[in-house]
Amino acid sequence: MERGRKRDYFGQVVIHAAKKRRQRSSVKNKRSVRSKISKLKPPMRKRPTSKKYQQKRHDKPLAPLPSYHQGTHQKAYAAGYREGLYHGGEAIVEQLIPYGRMLPEVTVEALIQSGLMQHQADMLEIASSVQVAGEIRSAMDERRSFSLVRLGDGELLTLAYGTVISNTEAHELGAFLPYAGVPLPDVSVQSLLLNSIMKADYVGVPMSRRPEFQMLLFAVSKHYGWSLAQSRLTTSLINYQLHQHGLLLPMLANQRVLLIGNKAAEAADIMRKQGINVVGSVSPVRGFEDIERVIEQCRMYKFDICLIAAGVPAVVLCQRIASEDNKVAIDIGHLADQMIQESQQ
């Protein structure tokens, strides 16, 4: 037990009255100091928490990045562009020039141009929109079959799958193919597609020499033994060109038109408003497994020309409808979507 401190009956330490007064005085002094300090500080505004205030916080758009960041990105892009341009041009010339020689005042473009002049005989003719439109009119006037198919990255990747590119690469590059109606992998689809391409009257091919377009086209044609020189070629954008050059609608005048594809009904309404005699529409088209049903349904209509927007299966549909039913069939692709968008503007 502690000594020198008085305790009560229950053993609790008895605090002297003077000490109690000192403790109370100390507490009061602390309170007075706090109040003086608080008076010196500016009053704090309470942030309202209403929904109205919270909504106003996001009214202003975020400020753009400082020009420093923009300049940094632009410089990095420009540096990468220059490096890529060098490796794709001058670096190749460096490797081909004999050691110890220079070739001043001759640009890469001039060298390429002079080289192309020597290969003019190897160049293939690409029919214009006017030529193709004339062929379509002649076929309709003579009541003979005519098919126009188009090859884009979807068709080329389908043919390249497991042949000129690996399965893994095909899946990475062709992730959109199931949407375009192609189940990967499917060797039977490749066979159907190639057969229709080789039998079509006109084949639209890409004009870009990017790896996924012409470079893939050349590799695919070589692998399957399909001679591009034996086919009548036009651009794969012929569908847009016929429309933009004002050739499509006049060509359809006084003809019975059938539309095929998932957007066929909408496109049919638009064309009817433009004075085109649309006798019917067939939709949907659920990929390659739906081709037979679509062809049978088409035979329920009397038509002169068929416009098809059905992804990769459109190639097979065009060629088969034209050859089996002696009709004109054109793959219009996403032109149907464009016509719908134009009507909504």
Q: What is the pLDDT of residue 58?
A: 47
Q: What is the pLDDT of residue 334?
A: 95
Q: What is the pLDDT of residue 55?
A: 47
The whole-number mean pLDDT for each consecutive block of 10 residues of the chain, a chain of 345 residues, reads 53 57 61 59 55 48 54 86 93 94 94 94 97 98 98 92 82 64 74 97 97 94 97 98 97 97 96 97 95 98 98 97 98 96 89
Q: What is the pLDDT of residue 218?
A: 98
**Contact (Cβ atoms closer than 8 angstroms) between residue 330 and residue 307:** yes
DSSP state of 290: G
Q: What is the pLDDT of residue 1?
A: 45
CA 297 from chain centre, in angstroms, equals 31
Q: What is the pLDDT of residue 103?
A: 95
**CA 68 – CA 90 distance, rounded (Å):** 32
**Residue 162: strand, helix, or coil:** coil
What are the CA-CA distances from residue 221 to residues 65, 116, 122, 226 (Å)? 48, 22, 15, 5
